[in-house]
Amino acid sequence: MNMNNQRSNFSGKLGFVLAAAGSAVGLGNIWRFPYLAAKYGGGIFLLIYLILVATFGYAMIVSESAIGRMTQKSPVGAFNILGKGKGHGFFCFGGWLNAIIPIIIVPYYSVIGGWVFKYLWEYLTGGVHRVADDNFFAGFISNSVSAEFWFILFTLVTIGIIFAGVENGIERVSRIMMPLLVLLAVIVSIYSVTRPGAMEGVKYFLIPDFAHFSWMTIVTAMGQMFYSLSIAMGILITFGSYMKKEVSIEGSTSNVEIFDTAIAILAGLMIIPAVFAFSGADAAANLKAGPSLMFIMIPKVFDSMGLGQFGGIVFFLLVLLAAITSSIALAESAASTFQDELGWGRRKATVVVAVIMLALGSLSSLGFGVLGSIKIIGMDFLDFFDFLSNSIMMPIAAFAICILVVYKVGVDRIAEEVTVSGKFRRRKLYNFVIRYAAPLFIIIILISSILNAFGIVKM
Ligand code: PHE
Burial string for 24-58 (b: 16+ CB within 10 Å, else e) reads bbbbbbbbbbbbbbbbbbbbbbbbbbbebbbbbbb
What was the pLDDT predicted at 379? Answer: 93
Residue 103 CB less than 6 A away from ligand 1: no
CA of 28 to the centre of ligand 1 (A): 6
Phi, psi at 236, each rounded to 5°:
-75, -20
Residue 327 CB less than 6 A away from ligand 1: no
> What residues have CB less than 8 Å from 393, skipping those under 6 apart?
97, 100, 101, 104
CA of 25 to the centre of ligand 1 (A): 6
Q: Which atom of ligand 1 is nearest to the CA of 102?
A: 9
263 near 185, Cβ under 8 Å?
A: yes
What was the pLDDT predicted at 169? Answer: 66
Atom 4 in ligand 1: residue holding the nearest Cα: 28
Q: Which atom of ligand 1 is nearest to the CA of 233?
A: 9
Residue 293 CB less than 6 A away from ligand 1: no
CA of 229 to the centre of ligand 1 (A): 7
Atom 7 in ligand 1: residue holding the nearest Cα: 230
Q: Which stretches of the chain score pLDDT less than 70?
A: 1-9, 11-13, 15, 166-171, 174, 459
CA of 224 to the centre of ligand 1 (A): 10
CA of 103 to the centre of ligand 1 (A): 12
What was the pLDDT predicted at 5? Answer: 43
Phi, psi at 194, each rounded to 5°:
-95, 5
List the alpha helices (DSSP H) in 211-307.
215-229, 235-241, 249-278, 283-287, 293-304
Residue 329 CB less than 6 A away from ligand 1: yes
402 near 442, Cβ under 8 Å?
A: yes
31 near 268, Cβ under 8 Å?
A: no
CA of 109 to the centre of ligand 1 (A): 9
> d(Cα 267, Cα 29) in Å, to the nearest integer?
7
Residue 230 CB less than 6 A away from ligand 1: yes
> d(Cα 152, Cα 137) in Å, to the nearest integer?
18
410 near 234, Cβ under 8 Å?
A: no
From 227, 324, 327, 390, mutation site for ligand 1 pocket: most ligand atoms within 8 A of C-beta: 227
Residue 42 vs residues 25, 26, 162, 433: alpha-carbon distances, Å: 21, 21, 38, 26
What was the pLDDT predicted at 46? Answer: 98
What was the pLDDT predicted at 2? Answer: 41
Is residue 273 exposed (0-12), middle (13-18) or buried (19+ Cβ within 10 Å)? buried
pTM score, whole prediction:
0.92
Nearest to 280 by CA among 212, 200, 204: 200
> d(Cα 322, Cα 326) in Å, to the nearest integer?
6
